[in-house]
Amino acid sequence: MKHAIVGETVEVSPPSTNGVHSNLKVLYRLRSTSKNCSHRDINAMFIKHNFYDSYKNTKGNFANDFEQKVINNDKVITDYFTGLMWHESGSNDQLEWIKGVEWIGKLNTREYAGYVDWRMPTVEEASSLLRQREISMPQFVDSVFSCLQESIWTCDSYEVSLDWNKLDVAWFVDYADGYLSTHYTCCGHYIRPVRSCK
Q: From the CA atom positions of the chain, what is the Rg in Å?
A: 17
pLDDT of amino acid 138: 72
pLDDT of amino acid 139: 85
Write the burial class of residue 139 (CB in 10 Å: 0-12 exposed, 13-18 middle, 19+ buried): buried
Range of the domain at 153: 2-16+25-196
**C-alpha–C-alpha distance, residues 76 and 71, integer Å:** 7
pLDDT of amino acid 136: 63
What are 70's strand-pairing partners?
75
pLDDT of amino acid 74: 97
Model's pTM, two decimal places? 0.84
Contact 37, 157 (CB under 8 A): yes
> What is the chain's length?
198
pLDDT of amino acid 134: 74
Q: Count the domains in the chain.
A: 1
pLDDT-wise least confident of 13-22, 94-103, 116-125: 13-22
Contact 48, 124 (CB under 8 A): no
Of 109 and 147, more confident: 109
